[in-house]
């Protein structure tokens, strides 16, 4: 099976951000990835900006995969978005539960991502290739690892074609998760999500929120560099390139880079891997 490589962006908020993202995308497009994905704010708060970014990627002749989160949304909202994407000939979606915007309590018509996947399939048949999320170190809200695996299987059984993992720095956690998913009968590709390390404070904040573990030896090293951005970058490149090399050499079906709308680190890792 061919490996798939992809890059993730978030929709820019300003004209300056849009220009910067355009430059990032043009740089990464030279690597000929299989697709670019674009995130979707809590409760659909970036819906229009996600659509704009995706349409621009499509106009450049590249494959775009918008994220679609369902928490806080009703079926008509989601139906409208699906129709917009179909009209634009978008064939690829990353389907997620997502987070409620702060202060809101109405979860809407969908409680879990498997319900969204089921709805997309019912509404659009096989028009879309559907990716879903999974968590090698387990979702922070899951009661047990077993529950989390069962939740993942429900998304696949609902009609998902592939999965992208939350980022991680422990390759063993990924391989163990894949083995356990296979034992449950999950056969789809499970592509590792990769977070290049640019800034320790940002990484620590993200990781604490999403439940991704920064191994103690990595955390200690990064903390020891203080404000030395060049050392953080150099060490981060070594760690993440080594992780990617091990993942690919042991059979991972590709890599999905969380770029944070920056091209430099992902390009360097790509070149070091000889992709």
Go through 45-63 and write b for each residue having 16 or more CB atoms within 10 A of its CB, e for each that does not.
ebbebbbebbbbbbeeebb
Which residue among the candidates 8, 115, 118, 137 is catalytic per the annotation? 8
DSSP string, 209-263: HHT----HHHHHHHHHTTT-HHHHHHHHHHHHHHHHHHHHHTT--EEEEE-TT--
CA distance 233 to 21: 21
In angstroms, the CA 28 to CA 163 distance is 22
| Catalytic (active site) residue 8 | yes
CB-based contact 131:175 (threshold 8 Å): no
Which residues lie below 8 Å from residue 173, measured CB to CB, with a gap of 6+?
Answer: 136, 137, 213
Catalytic residues: 8
């Amino acid at each position: 099976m061919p490996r798939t490589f992809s890059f993730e962006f978030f929709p820019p908020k300003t004209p300056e951000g849009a220009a910067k993202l355009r430059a990032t995308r043009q740089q990464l497009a030279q690597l000929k990835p299989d697709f670019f994905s674009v995130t979707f704010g809590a409760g659909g708060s970036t819906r229009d900006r996600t659509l704009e970014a995706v349409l621009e990627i499509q106009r450049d002749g590249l494959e775009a995969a918008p994220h679609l989160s369902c928490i806080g949304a009703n079926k008509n909202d989601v139906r409208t978005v699906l129709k917009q994407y179909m009209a634009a000939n978008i064939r690829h979606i990353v389907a997620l539960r997502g987070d409620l915007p702060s202060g809101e309590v109405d979860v809407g018509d969908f409680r879990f991502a498997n319900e969204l996947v089921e709805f997309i399939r019912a509404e659009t048949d096989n028009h879309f290739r559907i990716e879903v999320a999974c968590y090698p170190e387990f979702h922070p809200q899951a009661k047990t690892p077993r529950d989390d695996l069962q939740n993942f299987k429900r998304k696949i059984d609902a009609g998902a074609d592939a999965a992208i993992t939350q980022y991680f720095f422990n390759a063993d956690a990924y391989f163990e998760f894949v083995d356990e998913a296979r034992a449950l009968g999950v056969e789809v590709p499970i592509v590792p999500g990769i977070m290049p390390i640019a800034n320790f404070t940002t990484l620590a904040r993200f990781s604490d929120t999403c439940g991704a573990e920064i191994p103690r030896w990595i955390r200690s090293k990064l903390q020891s560099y203080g404000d030395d951005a060049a050392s953080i970058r150099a060490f981060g490149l070594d760690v993440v390139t080594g992780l990617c090399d091990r993942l690919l050499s042991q059979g991972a079906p590709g890599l999905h880079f969380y770029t944070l709308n920056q091209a430099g680190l992902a390009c360097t890792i790509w070149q070091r891997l000889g992709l």
